[in-house]
Structures are given as C-alpha cells and as structure tokens.
Amino acid sequence: MFYQIKRILVKEGHSSQVVERFSKKGMLIEQQPGFLDKQVLVKKSRRGDEEVMVMISWQSEQDWKNWEKHPDHIASHKAKISQPKPDHILESSQDVYEVI
C-alpha cells in the first residue's frame, strides 16, 4: 500500500474551503486503477492558522505514478497555472509513504 499525503496550511477560518474541495465524491481520482481511499483531516486548533491533511491511499506506488501521469490530472494542474493562488492558502506540501 502507498500513501500520498498533502498538507495545506490556511488562514484561520478557511479550512472549510479546502475540505470542500477535497471531500467531493465521484472525483476522477476515485475512478483510477489502484485508488483505495481518500481521507480529509483538519487539525484541531482553538485559534490561528488551520491545517488540513489529505491522505490518499493507493494499492501501489505505480498506481499513484500512473495517476500523476494521467492526461486529465495533468490538464487540471495546467489549467490552474494561470490562476493566482487563493489568498487563504499560506503553504502546501506533499509527501509520499510506502507501507512496510
């Protein structure tokens, strides 16, 4: 099993916008061979910046790589290049993990 984990730090009060984007059902990623599950987590905090984690599990690293190279996935990212980053997103990162 293989995990792709996205970490998104947003301004206080804006985590719901990120959660909404990644919580939609029926997304193209869910139809990809090897896709297992997607979980969206919000770090509990009383005040200040908010953190959202998106954990996507795949059967294998190769399944994830196939998704990364998928023409529809690439096209969706190219479409966003010309758009400014939303003001509420402070930083984002992605890591990948293999289950041993």
Domains plus CATH for the chain? 2-98 (3.30.70.100)
Burial of 52 (0-12, 13-18, 19+ CB in 10 A): buried
Mean pLDDT of the 10-15 span? 93
Per-residue pLDDT at 46: 81
**25 pLDDT tier (thresholds 50, 70, 90):** confident
pLDDT in tens, 57-70: 999 999 999 999 99
Global pTM reads 0.85
Task: Give the pLDDT confidence of 74-100 residue by residue, as tens digits.
Answer: 887 777 777 788 899 999 999 999 999
